[in-house]
């Protein structure tokens, strides 16, 4: 009887396991918004509308690897992935409901690979992290056909794979080793049961190399500092509604909602022509950006308009060209504001716009 109970405990998540899943998924879901911000910064650096963010895609899977490594029971990663995706959805992910499926698939893949390898070690974590991170590219392509060349999709999938191996697998393994050594017990990899911890020493027992500990601590500090800056200075909560701010070299700085300019609404037909993707010509209805800017009276000598999104993505326009262009609109899209720039490349069609800065 006792043996049967122990066997069941190996496969069922305890209250402690569910608490670990909840905590890590909560942190991971919120932090993933910051990771998306990093991805958009990389897109801007490389001059592409999407794809460069795969360099940091492993950070999305990092939290799932932590949950799997601390709990070490089948289903732990899947539960963490599902809850993490739901939290991302309700904290304003730009991917909408699709992010739940993406995160769930990553959790399932981690569970399956750890089950097949029957190991919780560096190699299995790197394999699981790499494949799980790369899966987001395929999932998004199935949900939103982008028209991108297959060679480009393969290329960014390989970037995501490497990111998952390093940032989810290797980095996750380092953090797990630190956490497990700090606990008064550890989990037996075979049974999933808690046992007394033995911190090994140089005399035949393991120790965590000081260099590895220092590198892990520095990465965590850098990542945490960036996240604090992002949420303090850049992020705007989605529940505040689609509000945009006009600031900088203007006489009347303003915070407005698109409905404030409803009488100026117009419709244009535009085709998005990106570096690697194209959206066929279609109608867009919104408010001309020049109307919004003229309402704030830009100062003489102002030359540049910077359009900023809630995730920190920015593009620059020549102010005088914007003031004379009838085909640059601000539209409402999925409870956010989006810029439609008919005469500009796809990278200028900013999503989740929340700030216009005249310089």
User: For residue range 77-134, what is the model confidence (pLDDT) as tens digits?
Assistant: 999 999 999 998 887 676 778 889 999 999 999 999 999 999 899 999 999 999 999 9
What would be the CATH architecture of the domain defined by 2-234?
Orthogonal Bundle (1.10)
Q: Is residue 354 within 8 Å of residue 309, measured between CB atoms? A: yes
Confidence class for position 178, pLDDT limits 50, 70, 90: confident
Predicted TM-score (pTM) of the model is 0.69
Is pLDDT above 80 for 356?
A: yes
Mean per-residue pLDDT, 7-27:
81
- pLDDT at residue number 71: 92
Q: Average pLDDT for residues 14-39, to the nearest whole number?
A: 86
**Statement: residue 192 has pLDDT above 70:** no
pLDDT tens, 214-265?
777 787 787 777 777 777 776 766 666 688 999 999 999 999 989 899 999 9
| CATH class label, 239-358 | alpha beta
Q: For the chain, what are the domain ranges?
A: 2-234, 239-358
Residue 5 pLDDT greater than 50, yes or no: no
pLDDT for res 56: 85
> Does the structure show a pLDDT above 90 at 76?
yes
């Amino acid at each position: 009887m006792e043996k049967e109970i122990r066997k069941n405990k190996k496969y069922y998540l305890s209250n402690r396991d569910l608490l670990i899943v909840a905590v890590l998924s909560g942190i991971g879901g919120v932090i993933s918004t910051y990771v998306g911000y990093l991805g958009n910064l990389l897109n801007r650096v490389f001059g592409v509308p999407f794809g460069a963010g795969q360099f940091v895609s492993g950070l999305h899977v990092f939290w799932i690897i932590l949950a799997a490594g601390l709990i070490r029971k089948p289903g732990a990663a899947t539960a963490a992935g599902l809850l993490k995706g739901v939290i991302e959805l309700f904290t304003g992910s730009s991917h909408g409901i699709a992010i739940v499926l993406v995160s769930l698939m990553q959790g399932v893949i981690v569970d399956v690979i750890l089950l097949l390898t029957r190991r919780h070690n560096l190699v299995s974590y790197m394999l699981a992290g790499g494949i799980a991170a790369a899966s987001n590219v395929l999932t998004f392509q199935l949900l939103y056909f982008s028209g991108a060349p297959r060679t480009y999709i393969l290329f960014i999938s390989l970037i995501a794979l490497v990111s998952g191996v390093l940032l989810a697998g290797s980095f996750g393994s380092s953090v797990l080793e630190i956490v497990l050594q700090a606990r008064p017990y550890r989990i037996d990899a075979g049974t999933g049961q808690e046992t007394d911890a033995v911190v090994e020493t140089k005399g035949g027992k393991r120790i965590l190399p000081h260099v590895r500990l220092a590198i892990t601590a520095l990465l965590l500090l850098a990542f945490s500092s960036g996240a604090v800056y992002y949420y303090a200075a850049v992020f705007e909560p989605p529940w505040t509604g689609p509000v945009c701010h006009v600031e900088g070299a203007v006489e009347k700085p303003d915070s407005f909602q698109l409905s404030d300019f409803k009488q100026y609404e117009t419709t244009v037909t535009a085709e998005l022509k990106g570096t690697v993707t194209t959206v066929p010509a279609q109608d867009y209805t919104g408010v001309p950006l020049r109307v919004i800017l003229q309402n704030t009276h830009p100062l003489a000598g102002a030359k540049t308009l910077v359009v900023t999104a809630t995730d920190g993505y920015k593009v620059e326009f020549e102010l005088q060209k914007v003031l004379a262009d009838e085909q640059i609109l601000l539209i409402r899209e999925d409870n956010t504001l989006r810029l439609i720039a008919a005469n500009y490349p796809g990278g200028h069609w900013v999503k989740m716009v929340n700030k216009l800065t005249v310089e």
